[in-house]
């Protein structure tokens, strides 16, 4: 009802389902905690269908898909690899899986990625990029971070994105995050793009890269249609 109508009230839900307002409020709280709706005074509204929302909310969305993606990515990383890792709920899930791989060198703009990996594995050499700090997703960005990226060269850039589509390539809803990802691509040998299927056939304002700059796409399911054909044309390996 929330998705179809955009906004519903507790009173409306009580009348429709013939249950108590207390039960409705508990159910709305549960749905909001799992990233399905946004609670407001007296009811709920649908989540915005643009952008990616606050980072805590993004962590809750498609969590099982992100876990499957993380397990697939782990198989593509070996001890001794050097990796750029950008900020995102998907790359944070991947970071948790990477804690079991020794002797990695990681360069990241995500304080959370750095914390998760180094708190579980002391063999990892971690470099946290400096720059303007965003407290919501605990990332650094801006010209300072981009300049520091140029001081590294990694064999893998492990990135996520807000949207991918045929004819548009890899995109993000944040200009700052798109710039960071683009710089990491420029200074790496291989690019792994990790996105769940909700990002397929979606368009965002800021272009990260064309598909010919991506080596491997990792998702919980393979794309179809025009997107699949565009990836195949660009010789992107799809792992699902």
227 in any annotated domain: yes
- State CA 240 to chain mean position distance: 16
How many domains in the chain? Answer: 2
Residue 63: what pLDDT?
77
In angstroms, the CA 236 to CA 212 distance is 7
Regarding whether 220 and 163 lie in a shared domain, the answer is yes
**40 and 71 belong to one structural domain:** no
**pLDDT value of position 54:** 56
Q: What is the CATH number of the domain that holds 101?
A: 3.40.50.10470
In a domain, 36, yes or no: yes
Residue 82 and residue 39 in one domain: no
**Residue 224 and residue 137 share a domain:** yes
- Cα of 14 vs its chain's centroid, Å: 36
CA separation for the pair 19, 64 (Å, rounded):
31
Residue 37 belongs to some domain of the structure: yes
User: What residues make up the domain containing 126?
Assistant: 58-239
Q: For the residues 202-224, what does the mean pLDDT come to?
A: 96
* CA 86/CA 157 separation, integer angstroms: 8
| Residue 27 sits in the same domain as residue 129 | no
Q: Name which of 233, 235, 236, 177 is nearest 207 in CA terms.
A: 177
> 190 has which bridge partners?
156
Q: Residue 136, by phi and psi: left (phi above 0), alpha (psi -120 to 50) or beta? A: alpha
> Contact, 81 vs 74, CB < 8 A?
no
Same domain, 39 and 126: no
Task: Indicate whether 26 and 111 sit together in one domain.
Answer: no
Domain contains 138: yes
User: For residue range 49-63, what is the model confidence (pLDDT) as tens digits?
Assistant: 444 555 555 555 667
Position 117 scores a pLDDT of: 95
Is the residue at 53 inside a domain? no
Q: Tokens for 194?
A: 């990790």
Please write the tens of the pLDDT for every residue from 121-167.
Answer: 999 999 999 999 988 778 999 999 999 999 999 999 999 999 999 99
Residues 6+ apart with CB under 8 A from 41: none
In a domain, 52, yes or no: no
* 7 and 66 co-located in one domain: no
Which residue spans within 6-74 are E strands per DSSP? Answer: 7-9, 37-40, 43-46
pTM: 0.75
Same domain, yes or no: 131 and 166: yes
Which two three-digit tokens encode residue 122?
Answer: 């002391």
CA distance 39 to 32: 6
Q: Is residue 92 a part of any domain in this protein?
A: yes
Average pLDDT over residues 26-45: 82
């Amino acid at each position: 009802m929330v998705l179809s109508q955009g906004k519903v009230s507790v009173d409306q839900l009580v009348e429709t389902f013939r249950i108590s307002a207390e039960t409705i409020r508990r159910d709305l709280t549960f749905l909001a905690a799992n990233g399905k709706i946004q609670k407001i005074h007296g009811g709920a509204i649908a989540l915005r269908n643009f952008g990616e929302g606050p980072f805590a909310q993004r962590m809750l969305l498609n969590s099982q898909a992100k876990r499957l993606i993380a397990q697939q990515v782990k198989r593509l990383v070996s001890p001794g690899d050097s990796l750029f890792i950008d900020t995102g709920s998907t790359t944070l899930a991947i970071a948790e899986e990477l804690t079991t791989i020794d002797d990695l060198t990681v360069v990241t703009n995500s304080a959370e990625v750095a914390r998760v990996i180094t708190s579980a594995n002391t063999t990892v050499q971690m470099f946290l990029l400096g720059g303007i700090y965003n407290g919501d997703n605990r990332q650094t960005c801006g010209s300072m971070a981009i300049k520091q990226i140029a001081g590294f060269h990694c064999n893998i850039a492990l990135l996520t994105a807000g949207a991918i589509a045929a004819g548009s390539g890899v995109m993000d809803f944040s200009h700052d995050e798109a710039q960071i990802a683009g710089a990491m691509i420029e200074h790496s040998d291989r690019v792994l793009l990790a996105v769940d299927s909700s990002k397929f056939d979606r368009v965002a304002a800021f272009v990260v890269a064309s598909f010919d700059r991506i080596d491997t796409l990792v998702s919980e399911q393979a794309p179809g249609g025009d997107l699949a054909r565009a990836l195949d044309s660009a010789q992107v390996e799809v792992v699902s």
